[in-house]
Amino acid sequence: MGAGITPREHLDEVAESLVPAKGLVKAPPVISVEMLEDDFEGVVLSFDGAAKTPTRKGSCGCVLWKLPGWSVMEAQGFILEDVTVNDAEYNGLLKGLQMARERDITELVVVGNSRIVFQQVQGLINCRQPNLQRKLAECEAMK
């Protein structure tokens, strides 16, 4: 069995060949809050959601931040009943979008930790769960 060291300039090419093709629609864009310039002026919406699988009880939260300075414009938390983790994540996003709409904010940088929510909203993966399809439709209506 042979082994070798791939030169740094060819790592991306090699990594692409290792990504499974099944289920891959598009490569997700690389976006991070760290990519914003230090003097960025705007609003960031951060959201999160959580739920306990056995009880289906959960919560979500969202914060609107004014940049630069990261001052809190508004923050809210919500108790949720009969939800999955992904339901809770979508609820956090939707509540945050509603807060932004109430303040007439039309441009947002949105951050969160739910890969599924982000990829479904961006159209990178399909949404097959009826409960999430409804939430996704609400997000689409708020664009």
Residue 66: predicted pLDDT:
94
| Phi, then psi, of 141 in degrees rounded to 5 | -65, -20
Describe the crossing of helices 85-102 and 130-141 by its angle, rounded to 10 degrees.
20
Distance CA 118, CA 133 (A): 13
- CA pair distance 72, 12, nearest whole angstrom: 39
What's the structural domain count of the chain?
A: 1
Task: Give a yes or no: residue 28 inside a domain.
Answer: no
Query: Has residue 6 been placed in a domain?
Result: no
Q: From the first residue on, what is the mean pLDDT of each consecutive set of 10 residues in the chain (143 residues)?
A: 62 60 54 74 94 94 92 96 95 96 93 92 91 93 85
**pTM score, whole prediction:** 0.76
Asked whether residue 14 is domain-assigned, the answer is no
Q: Is residue 69 part of a domain?
A: yes
The residue among 135, 74, 76, 60 whose CA lies nearest residue 105 is: 74
Q: What is the pLDDT of residue 69?
A: 87
Residue 20 lies in a domain: no
For the domain that residue 111 is a member of, what is the CATH number? 3.30.420.10
pLDDT of residue 1: 45
Within a domain: 121: yes
- What ranges in the chain are assigned the alpha helix state H? 11-18, 85-102, 115-121, 130-141
Residue 7 resides in a domain: no
Range of the domain at 90: 37-141
Q: What sign has the CA pseudo-torsion 11, 17, 18, 24?
A: positive
